[in-house]
Structure 1
Amino acid sequence: MIVKTYSVTAKDAVTRYSPAAVVAVSREVMLGDPEQYVSTSYVERQNLSLRIGSGRFTRLTNGLSNKLDNHIAAVALYVAHYNLCRTHEALRTTPAKAIGVADRAWSIARLVDAALAVAPLLPTETPPDRRRKFTVIEGGRA
């Protein structure tokens, strides 16, 4: 495996779309005998599907998450939909049904019900230094 280390670049408009400079390259030996054929094409295809299917991974978007918990939940929901609900063209079924995890394709309603069943009931408390305090201003007609 070849591991490349990149330099940190400025985030100005000139270098935003330019690749960073490679400062170090190292090689690591990967050992093992996988049972199935392994290719980076599978990983690259999954990364592309995730980037296209979820707007949170596109460049310069406003669909980002301000909290890591929200980002994790959005990615988990996308992956669950991809595997349980979406019928794939090559498989002609969902991946979960193809490998025997699910007996049939899930509907969106079933996915939402399952997601809400494990969701916390109350929001998590943010630290006091990050909490925004709002003040109600009394005004209007007397």
Structure 2
Amino acid sequence: HVSTSYVERQNLTMRMSMRRFTRLTNAFSKKLESLEHAVSLHYMHYNFCRIHQTLRVTPAMEAGVSDHVWSIEEIIDLLC
């Protein structure tokens, strides 16, 4: 069961952290591929780097996918 409030909160978080999704703006992705990359980076940071207030750990740690808080450098290393 997915609550509307959870979905709306996720949408707000994404809009606040990525200018491409803010309303009434001209900061859009000209290519779909660029948008896909931006969304992927956002969720990678959201799930692996950002400690969530209610969980007190990252979502990846809570799910058992990771055993530590990732740094931005670790994400960049994945790209290289």
Calculate the TM-score normalised by the size of structure 1: 0.53
Higher strand share goes to which structure?
Answer: 1
Percent of pairs with identical residues = 55
Match of 1:42 in 2: 6
State the distance in 1 between where 2:70 and 2:57 align: 11
State the distance in 2 between where 1:66 and 1:77 align: 17
State the distance in 1 between where 2:32 and 2:2 align: 31
**Bigger Cα displacement from structure 2, 70-79 vs 55-64:** 55-64
State the distance in 1 between where 2:34 and 2:12 align: 21
Q: List runs of 5+ in structure 2 lacking aligned partners.
A: none
Deviating runs (4+, > 6 A) in structure 1?
A: none
Q: 1:17-96 to 2 correspondence within 5 Å?
A: 37-96=1-60
How far is 1:46 from its partner? 0.7
Please report the RMSD computed on the Cα atoms of aligned residues, expressed in angstroms: 1.2
Q: 1:108-123 to 2 correspondence within 5 Å?
A: 108-114=72-78, 116-117=79-80
Q: List runs of 5+ in structure 1 lacking aligned partners.
A: 1-36, 118-142
Letter in 1 for 2:15: R
Structure of greater relative contact order (alpha carbons < 8 Å, 6+ residues apart): 2
